[in-house]
Amino acid sequence: MSFDLHKPLPTIIKEAESIASRFKLHHVFFWVIYTIINTFFIRMGNNWSDSLLRQFPIMTSHALVVYFNMYYLVPKLLLHRQYFIYLIACLLLIGSAAFPISMLSHALIINAGIKGAVWSYFFLFLIFLSLLFSIILSMTIKLLKDYYGEQEHKKEMQQIQLQTELKYLKIQINPHFLFNSLNNVYALTLKKSELAPQMILRLSNILRYILEETSNGKVYFYEELKHLADFVEMEKMRLDSRVTVVMTMENPIKNSQIEPMLYLTLVENAFKHGAQVQLDEGWVKIVGTCLENGYRFLVENSVHSDTSRSEKGGIGLINLEKRLNLSYPNKHVLTVENSDSKYSVTLDIIF
């Protein structure tokens, strides 16, 4: 298997990790490094390269002890909480391996400076400690690896959950918008209004935008505002002169992106309450302002004093808050102000 060097670096690293995991190359890398380190401390031959070759059989013996502990004693005893039995078994394993390794060391060591000490009790004790250290080191690395692997798995699952929730919330928004828009078109066609074709054209543009652009995650900010303006024009056609609409939008930062259809809920809600039949002169005000590192979106509308506070927000605002918490955690401020004559929502988003 070869690497495509034209791929992004994170992709190459992930593929390398996959290959290393498949062929257990990280185990080989560990024991090679561990052998080199031991060679610096115990010079078994007359030179460095000779010592390194003589150290490999010793480290192979360490590996046998480590893997017997890791893949037999730990699953059979430690993971079943038989701690005392595991401790005794581990000490017996080290003790039974220490003497053969001492004999192997006696056969391999030709360095006159340490050869005489091989058969001493102190050297046997050092072998015992080195085996214990190998077991502790390997278990520590495995625990850390398992811990970080579990954390990565949790992050992946959380990301999947977030994406699923976002898709669900978007699915809730789109049919609601489509249903309202089709009702508006139907009302104009009943009146045989000349505005019906224009509304159908704008609705077609918005639906194309929803189906083709918003399915891939974030969209360019200017595109979102452009199609939001189409929606406002559709509402103005439907309401004619019943509602006064003021819309002023500053151009967003170039190439800035945003989650799609966040503002639509606020604008829909404003027209819903700003065009109540009880109102003599309804109005809707929409203002977009650039911030230093984000964008402020203000929507205000007139309301009738009999409208309850729960009606002013509704399920749409609840869904909007959920989307904001998922897409912009700690990077947004949603402020709602209620009064007897005005309903105001300000949404600040930091890019």
Q: Please state, in angstroms and rounded to a whole number, the distance separating the CA atoms of residues 36 and 152.
A: 31
Residues 213 and 95 both lie in one domain: no
Dihedral sign for Cα atoms in the order 16, 18, 22, 26: positive
The 10s digit of each residue's pLDDT in 288-311 is 999 888 899 999 998 876 655 445
pLDDT of residue 306: 63
The partner residues of 282 in beta bridges, in order of sequence, read 243
Residue 325: give its domain's CATH number. 3.30.565.10
Structure tokens at 12: 């190459």
Residues 264 and 135 both lie in one domain: no
The 10s digit of each residue's pLDDT in 112-163 is 666 666 667 777 888 889 899 989 988 888 888 888 878 887 777 666 666 6
pLDDT of residue 1: 46
Structure tokens at 261: 């259809």
Residues 144 and 225 both lie in one domain: no
Structure tokens at 132: 């214990």
Residues 137 and 274 both lie in one domain: no
How many Å from the N-terminal Cα to the C-terminal Cα in the chain?
Answer: 40
**By residue range, what is the domain housing residue 125?**
9-155
The partner residues of 246 in beta bridges, in order of sequence, read 285
The partner residues of 344 in beta bridges, in order of sequence, read 300, 337
Residues 339 and 207 both lie in one domain: yes
Q: Which of 104, 134, 155 is the last residue of a domain?
A: 155
Residue 171, CA atoms < 13 Å, CB-side half-sphere: 6
Q: Calculate helix-pair angle for 83-108, 121-190, nearest 10 degrees.
A: 120
Residues 54 and 142 both lie in one domain: yes
The 10s digit of each residue's pLDDT in 98-124 is 888 888 887 787 766 666 666 677 778
The pTM is what? 0.52
Q: Please state, in angstroms and rounded to a whole number, the distance separating the CA atoms of residues 100 and 60.
A: 12
Strands in 250-307 per DSSP E = 257-258, 282-290, 294-302
Query: Residue 88 — pLDDT band, cuts 50, 70, 90?
Result: very high
Answer whether residue 197 is part of any domain.
yes
What's the mean pLDDT in 160-178?
A: 59
Angle at 236 between CA 233 and CA 242, to 5 degrees: 170
pLDDT of residue 20: 47
Query: Residue 286 — pLDDT band, cuts 50, 70, 90?
Result: very high
pLDDT of residue 3: 44
- Stronger pLDDT, 22 or 275, i.e. the higher one: 275
| Helices and strands in the chain, H and E counts | 11, 7
Tally of residues, the chain? 351
Identify residue 163 by its one-letter amino acid code: Q
Domain count along the chain = 2
pLDDT of residue 288: 92
What's the mean pLDDT in 162-188?
A: 65
